[in-house]
Structure 1
Amino acid sequence: MTGVALLGAGIFAKTQHLPAIEAASDLNLLAVYSRSQSSAAALVSLIKDSSKKPQEYYDSPAGSNSLDALLARSDISAVIVSLPILAQPAVIRKALAAGKHVLSEKPIAPDVKGAQELIAYYDSLPAATRPIWSVAENFRFLPVLHDAADKIKAIGGRLVAFHLIMNGFVKEEDEFYNTEWRKVPGYQGGFLLDGGVHFLAGLRFLLAAAGDEVERVACFSSLLEKRLPPVDSVHAVAATRGGVNGTVSISFGTEFKATLEVCVVTTEGRVTWDPSKVVSVRRGQADEETKKFEQDFGVVAEVAAFGKSVAAGKADPLQSPQEALKDLALLEALLQSGPSGSVKTAV
């Protein structure tokens, strides 16, 4: 069993990562790290079994229980990094330099340039001793999304149209909103970067099933809810490498409308995905087929996949930094196009 540390004590670490680590048969949680002792202690307090309490590490107050001390432990082989977006790259580098396998939360970095530099650093490490670096994108582990991709492949045909529509509203009382680094983002896109990469990962996954990918976008962006700067909505036309046009619409500032779906249309049929079901129809089929799914955030499966990767010594391709970079590149292209509507390359 692999000794693992959870770096970060935010709401996602509490509600998703901690239960996922506890459920993973290949991982043994030995330590947690947060910037403050109080937040590290609060995370540890959620573990009821006193025999399984991990050790706490923190920056404040300064002392012997630092991040460097955690990374020096020989019994910890892997870390899961769930820190604020701007803090993650430096910690990822430090963990990799210490020889630890890393599962880092999306987005891979605040921007494409930073992501490319991080990947270049990883590639520069000696191949013989290079640890595994995986990037967590839980949408790639959703059973409902995999079912939609399988149906697209089964239906076949040539891609002719697609769309991604996501409308949501970040409320003031939302736990994710009530973190200072999200209220005053020091990175591009605000919630569009923090959450939008999920939906773009889903779109890319389904377009790949149809044998294509988005190459260019022309977008308009806006700020509908003033407390969600710098922009909270993007509406775009997207063109694939194969010359097919579709639309991408993502908004975190649209109240009274909650929508999330990706639709892929080929010359042989159509598949529409949302988090609870897959609706499909193919040539010669009289009625639509609907398959429903129970709610699943995919985090338990993605953490388990990381544990299996470490045990096998081989990274899961669904968690590759290159895939995460492509998610980010598409999001950044939308944000860069947004002010003017100019065409931007997305890959």
Structure 2
Amino acid sequence: MTHPVKLGLIGCGVAARELHWPALQAVAEEVELVAVCNRTAQKAQHFSAMAGGVDWYVGWDELLARPDIEAVDIVLPATENLAATRAALKAGKHVLVEKPLAPTAEQALAMLDLARSWPDRVTMVAENFRYAAAFERIRNWLDSGEAGRPYALNWNAMMLMHEDNRYIASGWRSSDAFPGGLVLDAGVHYMAVVRDLLGEITRATASPSQVNPHLGRYDGAAFTLNTASGATANINLYFSAAAHSEWRLVLLAEKGSATYDGRTLVLSDAGGRTREWRRDDDDGYASELRAFARAIRGGKPVASSFAAGWRDMLPIVRAMATPGQWVDLG
């Protein structure tokens, strides 16, 4: 059996603790966490204790200097992705970086340049929706031809998020350095799925909004997307919905439909027959780590490359720059 990839974790905040650490435990046969680091000693020590006493450091320099560490999982504010990725690649490490790839188009393109400069290193974006079981089932259903041609997708994600939410409280999502706010941070999930199910997004228009300024420049947006398959997608993302909560995807095809509410996936055909699945994974976090490890050990290209991460960002940053206008994405 191939020995596990020895991994260093850069960033010990809430996403690392609540999302990445459970996934790392689930894939321990393929990925071994050997060290962690954080800007503050307290968080690094706490994570180390939680992870069984692995080595911990303040800052990433000492972690990256270790020759036994083959790869890093960067779970930092997106505003720090470029600096951390550059340092890791210069140290010879494979890189998995939490989505979104970057806070701006300029930094995203700089991330692509880094990946091209180190072609022998695996560079991957941790976009868990791309690896979630529910979306994989929908993709396989479409690929089988059973549903016919998909022609429309509607996805409502409406919820109330307060500024004291543990994922919001750190403040970077509402800073000037991250102009896309929650719409960019969460929106890349939805764009990744649209691209995987319906093909490349070729044109986009957006109507962004702000209700709660503490959540950033934008805390909501409605997107209409044209795709290479000819299907149209409408995505409504609103994070200050005071009196309504909804998270539901509906995909229409010539011979059937798919609905998913985050818990139950239902595939229906024109004859009235349905198949249901309850969500049976962690929304793709463990699967993305397996894909990262297998790319390192087996050389298989990753689906969630830096280039894919940039294409997930592109409809958001381009369409929100010119609200209400159609933007061609090439």
Instruction: Give the TM-score taking structure 2 as reference length.
Output: 0.91
Q: 1:266 to 1:99 in 2, by over 3 A?
A: same
- Name the residue aligned to 2:20: 17
Going from structure 1 to structure 2, the CA distance change for 1:133 and 1:40 (only over 3 Å counts) comes to same
Alignment correspondent of 2:223:
236
Q: SS in structure 1 opposite 2:292?
A: helix
Residue matched to 2:9: 6
Matching of residue 258 in structure 1 with residue 242 in structure 2? no
Residues 155 and 249, structure 2, Cα contact 8 Å, conserved in 1 = yes
- Which residue in the other structure is 2:55 paired with? 55
Residue 290 of structure 2 aligns to a residue whose secondary structure is helix
* 1:1-347 matches, cutoff 5 A: 1-24=4-27, 25-47=29-51, 49=52, 53-59=53-59, 67-125=60-118, 127=119, 130-154=120-144, 155-184=146-175, 186-207=177-198, 212-283=199-270, 285-294=271-280, 296-317=282-303, 319-338=304-323, 341-347=324-330
Gapped regions of structure 2 (runs ≥ 5)? none
Match of 1:64 in 2: none
Contact 2:37/2:58 (CA < 8 Å) preserved in 1?
yes
SS at 2:78's partner residue?
coil
Q: Does the 8 Å contact 1:101/1:133 carry over to 2? A: yes
Instruction: Give the distance between the partners of 2:9 and 2:252, measured in 1 at CA.
Output: 41
Contact 1:223-1:231 at 8 Å conserved across structures: yes
Q: What letter is aligned with 2:275? A: E
Change (3 A) 1:257 1:86: same
Q: Is the 8 Å Cα contact of residues 131 and 287 (structure 2) preserved in structure 1?
A: yes
Q: For 1:269 and 1:146, how far apart are their aligned partners in 2?
A: 17
Tell me the equivalent position of 1:62: none
Q: Contact (CA 8 Å) 1:270, 1:281: kept in 2 or not?
A: yes
- Distance, in Å, in 2 between the alignment partners of 1:268 and 1:303 is 35
TM-score if structure 1 supplies the norm length?
Answer: 0.87
CA shift in 2, pair 1:140/1:242, >3 Å: closer
Amino acid aligned to 2:56: E
How far is the alpha carbon of 1:143 from its aligned partner?
0.9
Question: What are structure 1's unaligned runs of at least 5 residues?
Answer: 60-66
In 1, distance between residues paired with 2:9 and 2:292?
A: 13
Alpha carbons 2:73, 2:95 under 8 Å: kept: yes
Are the aligned partners of 1:217 and 1:343 in contact in 2 as well (CA < 8 Å)? yes
Amino acid at match of 2:255: E
Farther-moved stretch of structure 1 (225-234 vs 111-120): 111-120
Q: How far apart in 2 are the matches of 1:261 and 1:151?
A: 18
Corresponding residue SS for 2:79: coil
Cα offset, 1:243, TM superposition:
4.2
Letter in 1 for 2:206: C
Seen in structure 2, the aligned counterparts of structure 1 residues 171 and 294 have a Cα distance that, compared at 3 Å, is farther
Between the aligned partners of 1:185 and 1:169, the Cα distance in structure 2 is 22
Relative to structure 1, is the Cα distance of residues 193 and 237 closer, same or farther in structure 2, using a 3 angstrom cutoff?
closer
Distance in 2 between the 1:299 and 1:242 partners? Answer: 28
Q: Give the total of aligned pairs.
A: 325
Q: Contact (CA 8 Å) 2:130, 2:192: kept in 1 or not? A: yes
Separation in structure 2 between the aligned mates of residue 178 and residue 33 of structure 1, nearest angstrom = 21
Q: CA deviation digits over 1:102-159, x for unaligned, max 9? A: 111111111223212221222123x4xx211111111112111111222223324233
- Farther off after superposition, 90-99 or 22-31: 22-31
Task: Kindly provide the amino acid, as one letter, of the partner of residue 37 in structure 1.
Answer: A
What RMSD over aligned residues (CA atoms) do the two structures have, in Å?
A: 2.0
C-alpha offsets along residues 43-98 of structure 1, whole Å, 9 cap, x if unaligned?
11212x3xxx2211114xxxxxxx22221211111100001111111110110111
Q: Distance in 1 between matches of 2:276 and 2:31?
A: 37
Q: State, as a whole percentage, how many aligned pairs show the same letter.
A: 27
CA distance in 2, matches of 1:103, 1:242: 30
